[in-house]
Amino acid sequence: QVHLVESGGGLVQPGGSLRLSCTAPGFTLDDWTIGWFRQAPGKEREAVSCIESSNSRTHYVDSVKGRFTISRDNAKNTVYLQMNSLKPEDTAVYYCHEAARVRDMCVKVDFGDWGQGTEVTVSS
């Protein structure tokens, strides 16, 4: 069973920055396409970004383009989501998981459970 662990969330003011980390001890994240997803209270979970395993191509939902950057550090076996210029609408619990590209979208693969996520709150 693969357990992905998210960290780095917190409370930040609008315009601020956070860097989220995704790790999977005992597994090599470089072998997988990894996506970041988020869910705000009362809203459906949405894909934010993903990074492909084969060529490291990155993809972003329109609402975060130019503000968020997904990346890998293979030496640390970690996938990051650098979030800049944060807005209140970015407030959500953020999750990482193995993903796939389907219809030009980042989607969670069917197997595997969501982790506990890391909470991001953007508020003044």
Q: Which residues of 113-122 are buried (b: 16+ CB within 10 A; e: fewer)?
A: eebebbebeb
Segment holding 39, helix H or strand E:
strand 34-39
Beta bridge partners of 118: 94
The mean pLDDT of the chain is 94
Per-residue pLDDT tens over the stretch 72-121: 998 999 999 999 999 999 999 999 999 999 998 999 999 999 999 999 99
